[in-house]
Structure 1
Amino acid sequence: MPQPIKRKRDHSSTEDFKSVRQKIRTLEANLSDKSNLNNIVELFNHVKNDNAQIVFAAMHALNRVFLSFLLKGELQKPKVAEETSAKGKVTLWLRDQYTNFLQYVKSLLSNDEPGLQLPALTILMNNMKAESEYFMSTKGTYHFANNLYGPIVKEIISTENLNDHLRKEFLEKYLNIYDDLRHYFFKDTAEIIEQSLRTDETVRKQKTSMKSKKAKISNTTNSSGKLELIAKNLFSILESIRTMPTEPSEIDEFWTVNPSKYEPQSKKTNSEEDDVLGDEGLLSESEVEEEKEQAKKDGTRKKKMHPLLQLKVHKRSFTDCWLQLFKLPLTEEMYKKILLILHKRILPHLSEPKLLMDFLTDSYNVGGAVSLLALQSLFTLIIDHNL
């Protein structure tokens, strides 16, 4: 009987990775000396490598470098008068490299390899946390780095590669645990959809003036396809969020810090507008007025509760997110799923039940089983909420 042929193991790729990994470690170690800052460029080139192992090693090395600079305050934007100095120019260059790095890592969320998506998400979320906490430690006011978090959210709900691995990681490690991340996810997705719908409307208006029917059909497909993708991705996340608070006491887990440690800021100073969004805009104008009126009635200078600790703020962001989703092109299956979870998982957390009326009317017009489910929901709203 012939002996089975033993395949020779190719050691070349393993040896190549080991040598590159050692080079990455050396480049990182030498960055303790500011004279070797060009090592950042070389590390970034390795991050763009085709080999996933090399990308992983270089990405984490470069992230450690930038986090070190961040925590030392060396990524803080210099004053205008200092920008032309040698130190100012170096700082601006470092900030550009840091921004480019985060942009590239964010793009990896749309990679078709979960082995790159998940570490990319971890790095981005850790940087968002580090930026938030650095700002708070230096400014003494609460801060959520939504300039980093918002683009992460946008990439995730817009990607064609939102696989089960990435979705599960985002939900189980972040959204279903931390109240601030969940709130800003709702808030950011509502704004992203609103902007996407405006863009879609602009494109449609431009198409009506086109003479070429072929171009018109092509653009319609691309525009609608993007909205449908956002709808599919967003709903797949929303239907798995199970941790909406029902009492203010349940708002107690934060990815950054508990905002009760800081006084809420009604208006940011110029110096605070450096990099990121704070807690402005969490209360609507009417809610701000309500707070002022209540303070007058109480007749006392009671300490204001931070918006992120207020249940009505979480309900409003939840409501805005779902209402914006309802404006997107939904499949019949999505209509069914939404109507089936409507009364137990959506309605209790809405700021006002009557806001569902338009969606239920649209659902009824879909026809078939969806119409029956919509009628049942309408009946429940009328009976239970006197609508």
Structure 2
Amino acid sequence: MASVPSLNQSEKKKKKNEKNHKLSDLKTLGLQLLSSRAHINNLPLLLTFLSPSKPPQYVLEALLSLQSFFITVLPSLPSSSKPAADVQDDAELIYRTWLRSKFDELVKSLIDVAVSSECDDTLKEIVLDAIMEFVKVGNRGKFHSALYHRFLQSIAHSSTPVNTLIALLVKKYFNHLDVRYFTYISIEKLTRTFEAEYMFGDRSVRIDGDDGDHSRKGVEFIHIVHSIISSIPPLENSNQSDYTMWVESGDNKVLSDNQEAKQLKMRKNDEEVLTASKIVRKMKPKFTKAWISFLRLPLPIDVYKEVLVILDQEVIPYLSNPIILCDFLTKSYDMGGVVSVMALSSLFLLMTKYGLEYPNFYEKLYALLVPSIFMAKHRAKFFQLLDSCLKSPLLPAYLAAAFAKKLSRLSLVVPPSGALIIIALIHNLLRRHPSINCLVHRENVSESKNDDSTSKEVAKGTDASEVEADTPNMKPGIDRFNYEETDPIKSSALRSSLWEIDCLRHHYCPPVSRLVLSLENDLTVRSKTTEIDVKDFVAGSYATILGQELKKKMKRVPLAFYQAIPTSLFSASDFPGWSFNHEHSEKNIDGSDHLPAKRQRVESS
């Protein structure tokens, strides 16, 4: 048996021989290492070439030799690089313990190369494959979770970009069931450790756009963890036989519970064996713990928004108990602005499908109706949800009227695409809630001593027409609707009318005026019409409206032709009741009686 070289001797030879070796010499050293134990001293020398600073050819050649060597000896190596005190005289155990320490050095070098910014993508992919191969065979037939966690920890705490490495993991390994399972376990451990080290004080710093007391390194950690956890494909409810395992436990097929129990009895340490069926049963709790621990972190504003976007489709359906997100979502919904808009989808899902009770939901939704919402990035989804939220037949009349009236007022200040959405929403509200039809046409607006008495009476169940019949008339032209009021019941919407929609008859954008005319026709012939699909209008913009108009074939093209030369910019019919008695002087500024040349040509004709 070859003697084990001391560490001091190896270190002395490293610097001396490192610069003198050529690529062909590395191949020779690798062949010698694989051929005989007598050349075991080549192992430390080859390890010196696994460095980000070395040429890629040298790193690749050393990696191939070391990987081939350790793949064969890993099953016989001890789990720790420190030998027990009572076996110090066992030379073979000391040798294998030394090999174990060299394997740990190899893993560390591979991780350093993988997360380094100096290496190209091709070399990173090869190094990643080597690491995952050791994950497969390094734990005696079981998934080497400790090595994999160490690898993910290095990625999460890397100070260099690791997007390429994460993309390779997603592409090549996240389709395996056990890789997803242990990724969730590692993410939970990483986030809990981070929370214990960095979480101090108020957690409101998560959305204020500033790092606060958290270091830049902590913010980068959150970004990386979010990239990993959001890239793991969810466990769909498909046939379990479709799942693949990176580390096969002897079950090439998913067995039934009885078959699996019989097979586990024949194995030793069966509690440590993870089959596909076991992982499927345990995946949802691990998924839940990983996401909940991640959402507890002080998320930066950009990550916070990205999480809210995917929460309703990619997270909530796969949680063990989605109601545990109620605090996170209600806080998000209470923040206002774009964060509330993005949280609405997930909160609505919890309310309609999982029985969440949120008493102030419609008040908060009413407060979100501001002009800026019609230009927000996620407005399409918001208005579809708004239409769904206002669909319930149990919605009080004062609440339906408040939403209809506020949307009507907003139609005067929003772009044409927003006006189209508003007309569609009001059309659906009028069809669903006949109790607010009094808003359609009202020549004289009524008032009472208490402005919000009507709303309160309707809230108690009194019909809107009965309340209005008991109130005295007042001068026309005064709208009792309070646009600035945040509480719908105090807005006096039932004391107003939808006069703003009537103004849209003369809108400068033809699609808006046409839709208003169709709204009037639909309300008179209800039996032959249906609700408008808001989805057809939510993605509108100036560009889409212009594109639709350009595609239309014009039967009559308007021309800039006048039978008589116009003498004024506006006609007298545009200003009924106004008179203009100003006499135009025919003199120029210099006092002369000569008319301008253009005026002379007009009069001479």
TM-score over 0.5 (shorter chain)? yes
TM alignment of 1:230-245, pairs within 5 A = 230-245=221-236
1:191 alignment counterpart: 189
Indicate how the Cα distance of structure 1 residues 374 and 228 shifts in structure 2: closer, same or farther if over 3 A, else same: same
Q: Deviation at 1:361?
A: 2.9
Whichever structure has more helix as a proportion of its residues is: 1
Does structure 1 residue 53 correspond to structure 2 residue 57?
yes
Q: CA RMSD in A?
A: 3.2
Structure 2 unaligned blocks of 5 or more: 1-17, 202-210, 253-259, 357-605
Report if the CA contact (8 A) 1:189-1:321 is conserved.
yes
Partner of 2:71: 67
**Cα distance per residue 1:188-240 (max 9 Å; x no partner):** 11111101211224xx59xxxxxxxxxxxxx975x543332222112223333
Give the superposition deviation at 1:241: 2.6
1:71-117 per-residue CA deviation (whole Å, 9 max, x = no partner) reads: 5x255667765442221221111111111111121122220023443
Give 2:320's aligned residue: 351
- Aligned in 2, Cα 1:343/1:376: closer, same or farther, shift over 3 Å? closer
Verify the 8 A CA contact 2:50 2:113 in the aligned structure 1: no
2:312–2:345: 8 Å Cα contact kept in structure 1?
no
What is the CA–CA distance in structure 1 between the aligned matches of 2:27 and 2:68, rounded to whole Å? 11
Partner of 1:99: 104
In the aligned structure 2, how far is the partner of 1:106 from the partner of 1:316?
Answer: 29
Name the SS for the 1:346 alignment partner: helix
CA distance in 2, matches of 1:333, 1:100: 38
* SS of match in other structure, 2:247: coil
Distance in 2 (CA, whole Å) between partners of 1:243 and 1:375 is 22
2:32 to 27, 30, 33: 30
Percent sequence identity over aligned pairs: 23
Q: Residues 167-316 of structure 1: matches in 2 within 5 Å?
A: 167-175=166-174, 177-201=175-199, 223-247=214-238, 249=240, 252-258=243-249, 260=251, 278=272, 309-316=278-285
Aligned to 1:330: 299
Q: Check the 8 A contact 1:109/1:121 in 2, yes or no.
A: yes
Rounded Cα–Cα distance in structure 2 between residues aligned with 1:322 and 1:259: 31
Normalization by structure 1: what TM-score? 0.72
Cα displacement (A) at 1:148:
0.9
**1:127 is matched by which residue type in structure 2?**
F
1:114 to 109, 116, 120: 120
Partner of 2:338: 369
Unaligned runs of 5+ in 1: 1-15, 137-142, 206-218, 283-305
Flag the structure with more relative contact order, 1 or 2, with Cα contacts below 8 A and sequence separation at least 6. 1
1:162 and 1:128 map into 2 onto residues whose CA distance is 23
Q: Which whole-Å CA distance do the structure 2 matches of 1:252 and 1:258 have between them?
A: 14
Measure the CA separation in 1 of the matches of 2:277 and 2:86.
36
C-alpha spacing 1:50/1:365, structure 2 compared with 1 (3 Å): farther
Query: So what's the TM-score if we normalise by structure 2?
Result: 0.47
Q: Which has the larger radius of gyration?
A: 2
Cα shift readout 1:350-372 (whole Å, capped 9, x = no counterpart): 01110111221342354311112
- Which amino acid in structure 2 is aligned with residue 193 of structure 1? T
- Gap change, CA 1:76 and 1:225, over 3 Å in 2: closer
Count of matched residue pairs:
314
1-structure distance, mates of 2:45, 2:215: 41
Q: Does 1:148 align with 2:147?
A: yes
SS in 2 for 1:330: coil
Change (3 A) 1:68 1:376: closer
Confirm or deny: 8 A CA contact 1:74 1:91 kept in the other structure: yes
